[in-house]
Amino acid sequence: MSALSLAVIIACITTAAGLTSVVANFLHETIKIPHRLGVVIVCVVGVFQALGGVERIVAIAGPIFLSIYPISILIVILGLLGSLVPNDGVWKGSALLVAIVSLYEAAALVADMMGTQMPAALQSVYHLIPLEEQGFGWIVPAIVGAILGGLLWPGRSALLSRRVADRLRGRRAGRQTSSVEAT
């Protein structure tokens, strides 16, 4: 057995153990199932999923991933660019359009797995989106949504709220300095 094979096995086992524990804790906290029973339930469900083979697992996970990943990537990118985001509307607009595109992609995948197709009008509109053939059809809607959201939802400004917070910190620091000097 090669070192790479061993590393993959260990990574899979630790991931499976962590996910089993997290889901069992979730079941314990929400439905009040004993933790051990939650672990057993998760393991039994996992065995039945594994018996379906990799194709079935991918068929189940594919639509979920197509729905969640673009939004997750968008949130990470906007979080990293936090100081450049002018207001909350950028988040709202980009998330809305990315959610619409992601849900369409997931629905199209499910329809394809069922042997049907999405309506022709929706397909033609979707195929107009740049980068959709490469699997990045959500990027342009994210940019358009950010621009439109920033203009249409002029919510609180991230930069403005930071400036206010900095001013408040400066005032507090000034008060602390003067109170120290007074003693």
* Same-domain status, 59 and 113: yes
* Same-domain status, 75 and 120: yes
Q: Considering the entire predicted model, what is its pTM?
A: 0.64
**The pLDDT of residue 181:** 53
Q: What tokens appear for 163 in the block?
A: 């400036």
Token look-up 């991230």 returns 158
* Same-domain status, 95 and 66: yes
* Same-domain status, 67 and 139: yes
Cβ–Cβ < 8 Å for 28, 34: yes
* Same-domain status, 47 and 59: no
**The pLDDT of residue 83:** 78
* In-domain check, residue 129: yes
**Rounded (5°) CA angle 92-83-141:** 35
Calculate the alpha carbon distances from 115 to 63, 69, 89, 108, 110 in Å: 15, 24, 39, 10, 9
Q: What is the DSSP string of 121-160?
A: HHHHHHTTSTTGGGT-TTHHHHHHHHHHHHHH-----HHH
Rounded CA separation 97/104 (Å): 11
* Same-domain status, 16 and 60: no
Cβ–Cβ < 8 Å for 148, 93: yes
* Same-domain status, 66 and 151: yes
Rounded CA separation 79/71 (Å): 12
pLDDT beneath 70: ranges in the chain: 155-169, 171-183
Structural domain of residue 76, as residue ranges? 55-163
* Same-domain status, 43 and 101: no
* Same-domain status, 32 and 114: no
How many independent structural domains does the chain possess? 2
Rounded CA separation 108/111 (Å): 5
As a whole number, the mean pLDDT across the chain is: 85
Q: How many Cβ atoms are within 10 Å of 13's Cβ, its own excluded?
A: 10
* In-domain check, residue 174: no
